[in-house]
Amino acid sequence: MTTTPAAQRKDAAGPGGASPALAADHLCRRFRGVAAVEDVSLRVAPGDRFGIIGPNGAGKTTLFNLLSGELRPTSGRVALFGQDITAMRPYRRVALGLGRTFQITRVFSDLTVLENLTLALHGLSRTKLSLLRPWRSYRSVTAEAAEFAAKFGLAGRLGAIASELSHGEVRELEVLLALALKPRVLLLDEPAAGLSPAERVDIQALLRSLPPELTLVMVEHDMDVLRGVVDSAAVLHLGALVVQGPMREIQNDDRVRELYLGRAGAGRRSARGLRAPGPPGLPPGTPVEGGGGP
């Protein structure tokens, strides 16, 4: 193996690799004096598969919302491919190539899968204000929607109303909606949360099949999903950055181990390392099959 998958992805990223795909500089967010995120700086390179991990309450969701624009930072800045987007509302970040999914899935439940995807595909073009042509007549759009659905496991479900989909299918639709906007950077908010083991495998497969040029930033508890998808990560604790680097280093980092195994009596052992409830098992970092990199 001459190059690691991560290096292959970096090559695929092409020019423009000089400025990071997503960068956070000294981000702070306070809620009435309580610092949810304190002085966090990140660098995510184009094509990276990046994870944001940490125990519950570490500030992952707040950081995530700061990156996506749902929250404004108390101080600090966020940049997308070198461009300062700190003051931009979510829809403008979307136009610049930053997409996100939601943990509490927010699809259009009373619309069909096709309608969901059509809305997403019209998102970046002026055609969404078109008044007189039936939306079904935009053949290229409906064809693209069908293609998307087929490629990512929702073939044959185009006519189904979103509320009729299974939990896993809704998650897939969620990811598809974000993908339809052709993002350059995709933020994923716990894509595997609440899924059954079989569904988790599906989601992991979907995530791995995403194009290599796409930069992924993922908040996730499930170590299996993370390990299969993510190259490097940042670990948060109580709003501050503990360590950032390749997964291997993180798994072997003492501070991280202490975080998850805890100090005496407050230990948190779980198979996947980062979820409070769950069967006990191996702490993160214990070499498992093919531990030579995700």
Q: Give the binding site for other proteins (CB under 8 A).
A: 90-91, 94-95, 100, 102, 106-111, 115, 118-120, 122-124, 127-136, 138, 177, 180-181
Local structure of 157: helix, strand or coil:
coil
Cα-Cα-Cα-Cα dihedral sign, residues 186, 190, 196, 200: positive
Q: How far is the CB of 49 from other proteins (least distance, A)?
A: 22
Q: Which is nearer to other proteins, 108 or 201 (CB)?
A: 108
User: In the complex with other proteins, which residue's Cβ is closer, 70 or 253?
Assistant: 70
CB of 266 to other proteins, least distance (A): 25
Residue 267: partners with Cβ closer than 8 Å, 6 or more residues away: 261
Type and span of the H or E element at 62: helix 60-68
Instruction: Write the CB contacts of 54 (distance below 8 Å, at least 6 apart in sequence).
Output: 60, 235, 236, 237, 242, 259, 274
For residue 233, list its beta bridge partners.
51, 245
CB of 146 to other proteins, least distance (A): 16
**First-to-final CA distance of the chain:** 14
Nearer to other proteins, 38 or 174 (CB): 174
Least Å distance between CB 108 and other proteins?
Answer: 4
Nearer Cβ to other proteins, position 27 or 180? 180
Task: Please identify, using beta-carbon distances, which residue of 14 and 90 lies nearer to other proteins.
Answer: 90
The residues pairing with 112 across neighbouring beta strands, listed in sequence order, are 161
